[in-house]
Amino acid sequence: MPFPARYVALGDSFTEGVGDPDPARPNGVRGWADRVAEQLQAQADAAGRPFGYANLAIRGRKLRPILAEQLEPALALEPDLVTVYAGANDILRPSVDLDALVGEYRDGLARLAGTGARVLVWTAFDPGGSATYRLLRGRFALYNELVREAADAVGADVVDYWRMREYRDWGYWDDDRMHMGTPGHRLMAGRVLDVLGVPHDLPVPDPAPRPTLPRKERLRSDAEWFREAAVPWVQRRLTGRSSGDGLEPRYATLTRIPPTDD
């Protein structure tokens, strides 16, 4: 495909950039999508081509709200490149019918691909190394196979998060153990550019150091995580609230990313 001139990112906290803080940016985060856009913008500028980037992702959004709230605005921007990460907040709910859910996802992806835009989607990460999430590993695997089928059906490309073994290292994750940290976002930006076939010089980042703690300190750390991250997450689900309530898309219209040294 020609070099993209209009890139639109859809999704939840993964695409919004949660875990990669930057107080100077909208919603206080940066994320892999901004980093991809920065690379595309720099290369477009060097070649004298136009480029704009929109990020419609909102943290906490499940797949159906992503389609309901973000699909039409994305289509209105007439993108030639679209990335969509959706479904992680649904997989964690055992009552959700993944077959039906990904069927709706496929229909939404078909609308995007039908415009001629290049579409990228993700598999979910492999939770086999997580004591918390590995009990749902089978649901993650089922979701991934359904996503691969949907991508094949509409001609979308797949960023295969499931096979990225680097993310077994918790140094690529935020302290909340739910979102990638800054090294994880940096790594993902490079992987996305690789799938796009866009040359880049982004280095593979080292994971943040996570020292092995003595058992007593590890238990204290786990208890702190449960109190500060897990309990609020469960409470929001029980009360129908979301971490994204009241937030607006970071870049609702095609825009240029401010230059950065990183």
**Residue 222, pLDDT score:** 52
Choose among 245, 241, 188: nearest CA to 58. Answer: 245
DSSP string, 15-63: HHTTTSB-TTSGGGB-HHHHHHHHHHHHHHHHHT---EEEE---TT--H
**Residue 228, pLDDT score:** 60
DSSP string, 64-124: HHHHHHHHHHHHHT--SEEEEE--HHHHT-TTS-HHHHHHHHHHHHHHHHTTT-EEEEEPP
pLDDT tens for each residue of the chain, 262 residues long: 578 999 999 999 999 999 999 999 999 999 999 999 999 999 999 999 999 999 999 999 999 999 999 999 999 999 999 999 999 889 988 889 999 999 999 999 999 999 999 999 999 999 887 777 788 899 999 999 999 999 999 999 999 999 999 999 999 998 887 899 999 999 999 999 999 999 998 999 999 877 665 666 655 655 564 456 555 555 555 566 666 678 999 999 999 998 776 7
- Homologous superfamily of domain range 6-212+249-255: SGNH hydrolase (3.40.50.1110)
* Digit-coded pLDDT (tens) for 7-16: 999 999 999 9
* Digit-coded pLDDT (tens) for 111-136: 999 999 999 999 999 988 777 778 88
**Residue 229, pLDDT score:** 55
- Do 75 and 233 form a contact (C-beta atoms < 8 A)? no
Confidence (pTM):
0.89
Domain segments of the chain as ranges: 6-212+249-255
Three-point CA angle 32, 38, 39, nearest 5°:
95
- Report the distance separating Cα 70 and Cα 48, nearest Å: 30
